[in-house]
Amino acid sequence: MTTTENPTNAPAPEIGRDRRRKEDRRLITGRTRWTDNQAITGLLHLSIVRSPFAHAEIQGIDTSAAKQVPGVVGVYTAADIGADAVQLPCAWPITKDMKAPQRPALAGSRVNFAGEGVAVVVARSAAIAKDAAELVEVDYAELEPVLDMEDALKDGATLVHPEIGTNANAQWVFDSGEAGSGGSVAEALSAAEKDDDQVVIHRRFRQQRLVPVFMEPRSTVVDPTGEQLVMWSSTQVPHILKTMLALTLGLPENKLRVIAPDVGGGFGGKIAVAPEEVVTLLVARKLGKPVKWTETRSESLLTAHHGRDQIQDLTIAVTKDGIIKGLDVKLLADMGAYLGLVGPGVPILGAFMFNAIYKIPAYRFDCTNVFTTKTLTDAYRGAGRPEATFGIERMMDEVAVELGIEPMELRRKNWIKHEEFPYTTVSTLTYDTGNYEAATDQALQMFDYDGLRREQQERRQRGDVKQLGIGISTFTEMCGLAPSRVLGSLDYGAGGWETASIRMLPTGKAEVVVGVSPHGQGHETAFSQIVADKLGIAFEDVEILHGDTQSSYRGLDTYGSRSLAVGGIAMVKAAEKVIEKAKPIAAHMLEASEDDLEFTGGKFTVKGTDKGVGIADVALAVFAAHDYPEGIEPDIDAHATFDPENFSFPHGTHLCAVEVDTETGFVHLHKYVCVDDVGTVINPLIVEGQVHGGLAQGIAQALFEEAPYDESGTLLSGTLVDYTLPSAADLISFDTANTATPSTTNPLGVKGVGEAGTIASTPAVVNAVLDAVRQYGVKDIDMPTTPFRVWTAINSAKGTAGRGDEADVASPGAGLGSTASDISKGDTQGGHL
């Protein structure tokens, strides 16, 4: 269920209306062309030979057998196509002295993660290319893998990139004392240590490695035969890809055209200039023929970038009645073997979110990015913000337990009150609007919080096998990624503006060319609603065109829940310009003064009369151009660019109840309620869908998904049998709702929603699991909280786990509970798994 409460704007006919997604007809009935479906005469197929070793010298590559296979057109090593000389781009150098080792498109002399490409086979069919790739013999001399971030930073550690002399990529620090946005954390912690009315609590949390499992695997087709080289790619970022290809390969940008046709999901995993895209381009140019590469699912799991993978050390100073005095965050973030397009900046986005919705007087964030011999990490739904939200929301529960304060009450004591907005946080962001009380009150009521707490007590008293746990998570996030100036101050390599152009057709229909690029978000529907409202034309009369740099030549693409809050506003501004340009022509047609005209419902009317012309009439008059005013161009098309002054800050309260089977450790979702505030809602159905999808992903991190490596650096979840994506059967029906405090940073009052569900849900679920089992002495369980881990945690805490169980817990992928958490002033933490 979705409801919109407290809207300040009266609902317009289209904005705020549930509309089914018009693009779904073609997307879900197979009437579209994904990149892999591009049919070009003479298309060749490329397969990549990948290293089975995490870290090894390449001593020789024998391609002779593969070359003999009928149908094979060529077999190339990195040197053959210059792929070893390429430096794939990293657009976010977070510090001046950040170490950015070379990232070739194919490895030349050394591989640094299992799955890195070392050679390619090009053949007349994909099957031949794959079979022949098996025949390429590579002579590897194995090196020691680098797997553990803490070990990687020790003196004498094996280096992933010996040429940079360290496994540390960069250290990035924010200190509110130095920034002048708050006090010194060192002082706050030391004052708390000396104060009997305060406690200092330390916890270590792990963000396991995840894989953004998009439905459509990555794929690219390059056709070099025309005047412009055309690349189709299943990418989230066609514009960025085009510019980066030009810069990386020294190609003239005007000779490049990138097309992202319909793209089947991305979740951040397709924000990349992928080595495979570059290799396909290099081979296509060498051969002068069109070439296609499409990954297998296993290739995708192994080599498309991963997400998360952090160790978080949080130390909080808090008064015994629950008021936060200071928060210190130390992070280690695993970059994997190389730097992705925005990889180093992902944990830095989290720097601004650990303080979350709370008033924290002193804050320090200190992050070290580390190289390991694993697949590289980069943006994954939420990028830095789910990690931060997890850290602080887990910590809030730890504080609540430690101080014996009801967890929601603790949050209430510390959050920013609605009358305090706009509020500048300790990490220097200014939250424009929000109402945490309203969202929370609605969530509590929908959840029947008190009723479930009663049931929990009853089950405890009866000693039921299935115990109830209740978890809370509140959240806010910075999204609508822009403003350009702020991104610049964070050393991000691009701006944050977005564009839209409206082309008015002679028959009064509108083609809207947008710079953002959907891959499942329903843009064509929601954006048609906006433009229909603003121009006063029918929803069906608006066409949204995207994803082709030839028609949409300017844009910064889709990520960071920015498409509506930035791109949508560019559409509003373009529509306003269309009306502005149409006005003198309408006045001319009506033989009236422009000052006497008003525009409503798609029509210019002379005030106080029923004389009027529609925008469609003006469009036709402009097309004929027989009679239009002197000095005015016969053209009412318009282009606009929007660069907001601030992020948008959606927020919400998520409540989760789980049943934990104390005999099997199985966690069953019992109830999930969330109330999100995304400002003005354009399409409630789409918003609800976005939240549902996000919840599935966040819950999956808490309960199911993990990409672990064994001690040789081999990925253990290389298929979807091992990487446990939840199915519908693993989830329940979610109860979602919205409150609406419109954003003041854009004229629609909208805030992003694409990442919200993912950000808030993970800590809500883990807090619920722990709430069920704390009674046995369990203090923490690493994610995902699998039945085995939960069962082991309960039995270890009770002292009933046997030797065999302990051995299993320490096995790779079991979460390794060897984390050191403690509470100063006497308390110690046990049972952490």
Binding site for ligand MCN (CB under 6 A): 214, 265-268, 381, 519-523, 526, 558-565, 678-683, 686-687, 690, 693, 750-755
φ/ψ bin of 375: left (φ > 0), alpha (ψ from -120 to 50), beta (otherwise)? beta
Give whichever of 186 and 685 is closer to ligand MCN, judged by the CB atom: 685
CB–CB of 741/434 below 8 Å? yes
- Shortest Cβ 28–ligand MCN spacing (Å): 12
- Check: CB of residue 239 under 8 Å from CB of residue 230: no
User: Smallest gap, in angstroms, from Cβ of residue 458 to ligand MCN?
Assistant: 39
642 alpha-carbon distance from chain centroid: 22
Decide whether 16 or 817 has the Cβ nearer to ligand MCN. Answer: 16
In the 8-state DSSP scheme, what is residue 744? S
DSSP states of 680-708: S-S-HHHHHHHHHHHHHHHHHHHHT----
Residues with Cβ within 8 Å of residue 388, at least 6 apart in sequence: 349, 350, 351, 352, 353, 354, 356
Return the number of the residue (346 or 687) whose C-beta is nearest ligand MCN. 687
In the bound state with ligand MCN, the residue whose beta carbon lies nearer, of 684 and 817, is: 684
- Whichever of 473 and 680 has its CB closer to ligand MCN, that residue is 680
Least CB distance to ligand MCN at residue 794 (A): 35
Residue 198 three-state SS: strand
Question: Please, which residue, 145 or 520, has the CB nearer to ligand MCN?
Answer: 520
CA–CA distance, 495 with 490 (Å, rounded to integer)? 11
Tell me how far, at minimum, the Cβ of 515 lies from ligand MCN, in Å. 11
Measured CA to CA, the distance from residue 542 to residue 510 in angstroms comes to: 5
Distance of closest approach, residue 740 Cβ to ligand MCN, in angstroms: 8
Task: Tell the smallest beta-carbon distance from residue 749 to ligand MCN (Å).
Answer: 8
Q: Which residues of 663-677 are buried (b: 16+ CB within 10 A; e: fewer)?
A: eebebebbbbbbbbb
Beta-carbon contacts of 715 under 8 Å, excluding residues fewer than 6 positions away, are 114, 115, 301, 302, 374, 375, 707, 708, 709
CA distance 517 to 559: 9
* 758/796 with CB nearer ligand MCN: 758
Judged by beta carbon, residue 267 or residue 338, the one nearer ligand MCN is: 267
In the bound state with ligand MCN, the residue whose beta carbon lies nearer, of 198 and 234, is 234
Q: Computed over its alpha carbons, how large is the radius of gyration of the chain?
A: 28
Torsion of CA 419, 423, 426, 428, to 10 degrees: 170
Q: Which is nearer to ligand MCN, 236 or 501 (by Cβ)?
A: 236
Which 8-state DSSP code applies to residue 635?
-
Q: How far is the CB of 481 from ligand MCN (least distance, A)?
A: 8
Distance CA 403, CA 318 (A): 9
- DSSP code of residue 420: G
Q: Kindly compute the dihedral angle of the four CA atoms of residues 247, 250, 254, 260, in this order, to the nearest 10 degrees.
A: -60
Both structure tokens of 77: 């090593």
Q: Which residues pair with 328 in a beta bridge?
A: 315, 364
Task: List 442's β-bridge partners, or say none.
Answer: none
Identity of the residue, 94 or 514, whose beta carbon is nearer to ligand MCN in the bound complex: 514
Choice between 368 and 521, CB closer to ligand MCN: 521
Minimum Å gap between C-beta 419 and ligand MCN is: 23
Strands 44-50 and 291-294 turn out to be parallel
Residue 17 or 509: the one with the smaller Cβ distance to ligand MCN is 17
Alpha carbon distances (Å) from 417 to 339, 412, 604: 40, 9, 44
CB of residue 682 to ligand MCN, shortest distance in Å:
3
Q: Which is nearer to ligand MCN, 384 or 612 (CB)?
A: 384
Query: Phi/psi at 411 (nearest 5 deg)?
Result: -65, -45
Q: If we measure between CA atoms, which residue out of 792, 791, 777 comes closest to residue 828?
A: 777
Give the nearer residue to ligand MCN in terms of CB position, either 99 or 751: 751
Q: Least distance in Å: CB of 697 to ligand MCN? A: 9
Closest distance of CB 223 from ligand MCN, Å: 26
Residue 684: CB minimum distance to ligand MCN, A:
7
The answer to whether the CB of 400 falls within 8 A of the CB of 410 is: yes
The Cα 751–Cα 743 span in angstroms is: 6
Report whether 475 contacts 759 (CB < 8 A): yes
Q: What is the Cα–Cα distance from 805 to 808, expressed in whole angstroms?
A: 5
- How near is the Cβ of 16 to ligand MCN at its closest, in Å? 9
- Which residues partner with 237 through β-bridges? none
Residue 799 φ then ψ, to 5°: 80, 20
User: What is the rounded CA–CA span in Å between residue 170 and residue 354?
Assistant: 20
Comparison of 112 and 558: residue with beta carbon closer to ligand MCN: 558
Question: Least distance to ligand MCN from the beta carbon of 753, Å?
Answer: 4
Please state, in angstroms and rounded to a whole number, the distance separating the CA atoms of residues 685 and 683. Answer: 6
CB 310 to ligand MCN: min, Å? 18
CB of 339 to ligand MCN, least distance (A): 20
Give the chain's end-to-end CA distance (angstroms, integer). Answer: 37
